[in-house]
């Protein structure tokens, strides 16, 4: 499987139409290279400012392939515990995102400095 997972931080920049990220995001979305997780969209909708934003977020959520599966959250907790992620300031949601991306052989696109210092560069998307 090849593709990229946009972390919540990248989705926010995409939805703000930040020119630094927008074109690359759009290209990957149009090419069908983007995978996601329900938890990422839960974070996005939690911070949405009204029905219009929720609708936009929901539209992407309904049209992207999701990496979610039975046992994923528990396995991510085990991964986090084994890697000592909590002591590195990486919480469970980010652990789920990291574990899902790495175990699927995808690349993670994030702006989160804690994640960037932990994840092996072969699993980080560079543009």
pLDDT < 50 regions, the chain: none
Q: What is the pLDDT of residue 37?
A: 98
Q: What is the pLDDT of residue 127?
A: 79
Q: What is the pLDDT of residue 2?
A: 80
pTM: 0.94
CB atoms near residue 28 (< 10 Å): 19
Q: What is the pLDDT of residue 1?
A: 59
Domains delineated in the chain: 4-123 (3.40.50.1010)
Q: What is the pLDDT of residue 63?
A: 96
pLDDT (tens digit per residue) in 51-85: 999 999 999 999 999 999 999 999 999 999 999 99
Residue 93 near residue 43, CB atoms below 8 Å: yes
Edge-first strand order for the sheet with 4-6 is: 34-35, 4-6, 107-109
């Amino acid at each position: 499987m090849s593709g990229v997972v946009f972390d919540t931080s990248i989705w926010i920049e995409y939805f703000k139409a930040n020119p630094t990220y927008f074109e690359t995001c759009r290209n990957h979305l149009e090419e069908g290279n983007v995978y996601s997780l329900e938890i990422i969209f839960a974070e996005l909708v939690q911070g949405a400012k009204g029905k219009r934003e929720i609708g936009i977020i929901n539209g992407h959520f309904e049209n992207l392939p999701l990496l979610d599966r039975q046992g994923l959250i528990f396995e991510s907790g085990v991964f986090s515990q084994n890697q000592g992620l909590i002591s590195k300031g990486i919480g469970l949601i980010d652990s789920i995102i990291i574990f899902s991306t790495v175990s699927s052989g995808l690349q993670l696109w994030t702006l989160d400095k804690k994640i960037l210092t932990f994840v092996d560069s072969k699993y980080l998307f560079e543009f």
